[in-house]
């Protein structure tokens, strides 16, 4: 497991807010009039937190009479969480879901518990389920991405180990699970074909190879000046079911501002842990990267325009990308290079952007043209943007060793 994945695992502990910060289950499921008074008393006692043993006893008594009353199941799950009894909390939230499959509180805490226990595939599924519900959690998609990355890493490493030990059935199962996350990834179809062939299942293996071949043309544009690379395991884990979005960015003639926001959060999910300053952005409701844009703007990596617009689909300029990469470098602990400053022919040392551009040039994240100019207002191709993110990630990993 690489250092970035290890960092995500270390962030997996379940952190609870004060009891007053917990959402009242009544916000999800209406309370019948006949139970309202009793429920309000129970909720007040939970908030007070003085006698959880008595509260659980009273909740159990209520649930014996009202088995379909999911707010009580959720409250009982809350009590178990604060007691540190995650197994009991999981059981209570599961009971709530049996009664009400749309209980988003139960889904959320089951996802959190799965993530904390290392059950990343199930956690990713539950986070994805939450995204289809009317819930407002700014880091929800990032949580799903983390879980997907860790799930894919676990599945592929487990498959490789099983294959090495000649446990082909287990390897096949893991590759099939990985394909549920990234069904359009040819490399996974090819790996599965190899496993099927080792089990003498030639017809199935041939079908998987044909599936891989059918997907390859969509990944490569012969006219692209900069060649694209095949997906590696980290690509699959990082993007999961959104791997086609990565292909689109990687093959783009000009990367957009929203695509740069996506790259930053996917390659450096730890930016979600930095303190955010809410800022007004007026034109991102229909963006495919709305949550990522809010994140990078909130932590100060990218700036909206003076009129509060972000212009998600506008091509990112080389100057804007240099500023963003320099800010990100400093944020994750990579200081300015001690080497001699690089002075592009079209940028005066006194220019306000000079320190940022010198940093990314010295780090090899971006380069000057043959003429020695940087071209601040020039466009950035998708391959250039992806390569810059990958290089910065490698530098970060080396610094962390």
- The answer to whether residue 10 is domain-embedded is yes
How many other C-beta atoms are found inside a 10 Å radius of the C-beta of residue 61? 11
Give the distance from CA 107 to its chain's centroid. Answer: 18
Indicate if 68 and 177 belong to the same structural domain. Answer: no
Indicate if 179 and 311 belong to the same structural domain. Answer: no
Model confidence pLDDT, tens digit, residues 120-165: 889 988 988 888 887 777 677 778 877 887 788 788 888 989 999 9
Indicate if 212 and 283 belong to the same structural domain. Answer: no
Task: Report the distance separating Cα 287 and Cα 255, nearest Å.
Answer: 14
Name 55's bridge partners: none
Please report, for the domain that includes residue 206, its CATH number.
Answer: 1.25.40.10
Q: With H, G, I as helix, E, B as strand and everything else as coil, classify residue 139.
A: coil
How many other C-beta atoms are found inside a 10 Å radius of the C-beta of residue 62? 18
- The answer to whether residue 181 is domain-embedded is yes
Indicate if 357 and 293 belong to the same structural domain. Answer: yes
Give the distance from CA 322 to its chain's centroid. Answer: 24
How many other C-beta atoms are found inside a 10 Å radius of the C-beta of residue 286? 8
- The answer to whether residue 182 is domain-embedded is yes
Indicate if 35 and 100 belong to the same structural domain. Answer: yes
Q: What is the pLDDT of residue 227?
A: 40
- Residue 183: name the closest of 227, 144, 241 by CA: 241
The answer on pLDDT for 66 being more than 70 is yes
pLDDT band at 52 (very low <50, low <70, confident <90, very high): very high
Indicate if 257 and 199 belong to the same structural domain. Answer: no
Indicate if 265 and 392 belong to the same structural domain. Answer: yes
Residue 371 to residues 319, 345, 359, 374: CA-CA distances in angstroms? 17, 8, 19, 9
How is residue 132 annotated by DSSP?
Answer: T
User: Are residues 151 and 168 in contact, defined by beta-carbon separation less than 8 angstroms?
Assistant: no
Task: Report the distance separating Cα 78 and Cα 88, nearest Å.
Answer: 10
Model confidence pLDDT, tens digit, residues 229-246: 555 666 776 776 678 889
Structural domain harbouring 95: 3-117
- The answer to whether residue 240 is domain-embedded is no
Indicate if 197 and 305 belong to the same structural domain. Answer: no
Q: What is the mean pLDDT of residues 314-329?
A: 95
User: Are residues 388 and 366 in contact, defined by beta-carbon separation less than 8 angstroms?
Assistant: yes
Mean pLDDT for all residues in the chain: 85
The answer on pLDDT for 2 being more than 60 is no
- The answer to whether residue 35 is domain-embedded is yes
In total, how many domains does the chain have?
3
Indicate if 210 and 297 belong to the same structural domain. Answer: no
Q: What is the pLDDT of residue 216?
A: 62
Give this prediction's pTM: 0.58
């Amino acid at each position: 497991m690489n250092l970035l994945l290890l960092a995500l695992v270390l962030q997996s502990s379940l952190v609870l807010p004060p009891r007053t910060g917990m959402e009242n289950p009544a916000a999800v499921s209406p309370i019948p009039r006949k139970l309202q008074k009793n429920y309000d008393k129970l909720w007040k006692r939970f908030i007070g937190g003085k006698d959880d043993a008595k509260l659980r006893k009273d909740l159990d008594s209520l649930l014996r009479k009202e088995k379909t009353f999911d707010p009580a199941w959720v409250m009982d799950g809350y009590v178990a969480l604060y007691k540190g009894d995650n197994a009991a909390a999981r059981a209570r939230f599961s009971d709530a879901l049996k009664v009400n499959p749309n209980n988003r509180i139960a889904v959320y805490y089951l996802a959190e518990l799965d993530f904390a226990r290392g059950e990343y595939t199930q956690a990713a599924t539950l986070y994805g389920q939450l995204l289809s519900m009317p819930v407002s959690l700014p880091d929800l998609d990032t949580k799903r991405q983390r879980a997907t990355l860790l799930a894919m890493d676990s599945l592929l490493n487990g498959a490789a180990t099983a294959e090495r030990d000649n446990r082909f059935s287990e390897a096949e199962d893991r590759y099939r699970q990985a394909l549920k996350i990234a069904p359009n990834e040819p490399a996974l179809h090819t790996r599965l074909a190899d496993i099927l062939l080792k089990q003498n299942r030639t017809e199935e293996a041939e079908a998987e190879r044909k599936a891989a071949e059918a997907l390859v043309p969509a990944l490569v544009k012969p006219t692209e000046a900069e060649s694209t690379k095949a997906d590696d395991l980290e690509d699959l884990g990082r993007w999961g079911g959104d791997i086609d979005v990565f292909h689109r960015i990687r093959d783009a003639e000009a990367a957009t501002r929203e695509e740069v926001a996506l790259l930053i959060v996917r390659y450096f999910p730890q930016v979600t842990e930095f303190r955010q300053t809410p800022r007004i952005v007026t034109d991102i409701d229909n963006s495919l990267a709305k949550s990522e844009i809010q994140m990078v703007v909130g932590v100060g990596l990218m700036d909206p325009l003076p009129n509060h617009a972000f212009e998600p689909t506008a091509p990112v300029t080389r100057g804007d990308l240099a500023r963003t990469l320099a800010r990100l470098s400093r944020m994750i602990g990579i200081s300015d290079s001690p080497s001699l400053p690089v002075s592009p022919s079209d940028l005066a040392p006194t220019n306000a952007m000079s320190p940022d551009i010198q940093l990314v040039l010295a780090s090899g994240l971006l380069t000057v043209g043959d003429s020695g100019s940087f071209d601040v207002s020039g466009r950035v191709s998708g391959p250039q943007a992806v390569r810059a993110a990958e290089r910065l990630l490698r530098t970060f990993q080396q610094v962390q060793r």
